[in-house]
Amino acid sequence: MPTHILIEPGKVTLAQLRRIAKQPVTVSLAENCKAKIAASVQTVRSLIDQGRVIYGINTGFGLLAKTVIPDDELEHLQRSIVLSHAAGVGAFMKESTVRLMMILKINSLARGYSGIRLEVIEVLMQLVNAGVYPCVPQKGSVGASGDLAPLAHMSTVLLGEGEAMYQGKLISGREGLQCAGLSPITLGPKEGLALLNGTQASTAFALEGLFATEELFAAAVVSGSLCVEAALGSRRPFDPLIHEVRGHKTQIDVAAVYRRLLAHSEIEISHKNCEAVQDPYSLRCQPQVMGACLTQIRNAAEVLATEANAVSDNPLVFAKENDIMSGGNFHGEPIAMAADNLALAIAEIGALSERRMALLIDSHMSKLPPFLVEKGGLNSGFMIAQVTSAALASENKSLAHPASVDSLPTSANQEDHVSMATFAARRLSEMAENTAGVLAIELLAACQGLDFRAPLKSSPLLESAKALVRSVVPFYDQDRYFSPDIQKSQALIQSGAFNSLVGSKLLPSFTK
């Protein structure tokens, strides 16, 4: 049975959002939000009856905002905006992304500042609960005036238009409604605009990027610790005194995790009196680099947790003040910058991992067999796996270029500065896939290196991590078809198999 989540509007947690992103759920609304939803609808109706001209309710949109729409055309206006704005292109979003986007929209609308009826919000909830997900093209939003095209595609299904996915099959929007026991709805004043205007597509992409980055981070700390052991690295760089005098909390937190992972190791004891003075930076500076990455992750998590609970459509209905105000909460700049910072973290996690793996295959540096294989020359071992790592890490350097610094005016220059938040967030998936590949190769190399240190054992925690890897990929005794090994290692990372080893307090969405 799917997990059930009770939505308390404005109070959805990152841990809940992680569950929504990872698996189907059912949702319901807390009862205490319904009076506020009704009050906002009544305010819209009251101000229309008073003859007020209000943007998006009885006017055109964008540059056409000065065009007043007669009362008898208001329903047609809201239907038209949904259909005309459903102009996205490209492959469809994953069902998990659409589910997250829909629940984010439900959460925002249910706060009672959008002038949309409870019945419309309930249709969105019933679609989620039935597992009917609108087909939403990935491309077509610039992240300002809201994610108009993606949210319009989401909303077409409510009207019996567009397409949907249900139990793995592509069906029409009308059939999707039928699968959920629903019929097409008619939108009232403001409702089409409330559905379309908002940052929920960008935020859904960014949250998925955040959760992937957390999994990469956890795997990288474990893999980096394994490399310290395989390369007979020093423990001194992880000493708390070093990190306390610099003062960065994230660096201090990460160093503590490395110490815990590396504690009680036979390998450490075996080289306590070695002559090595300083390890290469990829080993020695892990707390500093990973601490900086953790700063980006935590900052982005704070921004995205706020945005996930935000009211980001326009105009906004303030029932208590009996007023409707037009503003710019739809602008996705906070999401774009958060996503750009996550991109930096993803790229650097991969860059550091690639350097550690390159160190292990270099016998002059690691004192391990060349390319981590016996009978080198006859066997090439990890030679080309490192080339793959380098290719993936380098690709991420280009993808990490900030999207938020770009802007192209839209809507005949009415919308003259845009955030590009949707692309900023969407590209995180590709970057995370690349870094997962880099880490997968490093994990295999580190475990191979540890096997060459036998019969000495690493710490209990790192031995458990190695056992996880060895449960799916055996020791590389001679050249074999390499790609399946990488895929299995990468699947472990992306399943979150190493999350528990770093603890529940280090990363934001791991905390209950």
DSSP state of 379: B
Helical ranges in 309-416 per DSSP H? 333-361, 363-366, 383-399
Residue 505 token pair: 């307090």
List % helix, strand, coil for the chain (3-state, nearest 5). Answer: 60, 10, 35
Active-site residue, selected from the candidate residues 55, 113, 258, 476: 55
* Interacting residues of 206 by C-beta distance below 8 A, sequence separation 6+: 300, 304, 307, 335, 338, 339, 342, 421, 424, 425, 428
Q: How far is the first Cα of the chain from the last one, in angstroms, to the nearest whole number?
A: 21
Torsion of CA 74, 80, 85, 90, to 10 degrees: 150
Burial of 90 (0-12, 13-18, 19+ CB in 10 A): exposed
Pairing of strands 163-166, 169-172: antiparallel
Q: How far apart are CA 255 and CA 240, in angstroms?
A: 7
Cα Rg, the chain, nearest whole Å: 26
Q: What angle do CA 28, 31, 35 make, to 5 degrees?
A: 125
The three-class DSSP label of residue 10 is coil
Q: How far apart are CA 289 and CA 493, in angstroms?
A: 20
Element of type H or E holding 90 = strand 89-92
Helical ranges in 69-156 per DSSP H? 74-85, 95-109, 118-130, 148-156
55 catalytic per annotation: yes
* Cβ atoms of 357 and 383 closer than 8 Å: no
The residue to which tokens 């009862």 are assigned: 31
Neighbouring C-beta atoms of residue 287, cutoff 10 Å: 29
Which positions are catalytic?
A: 55
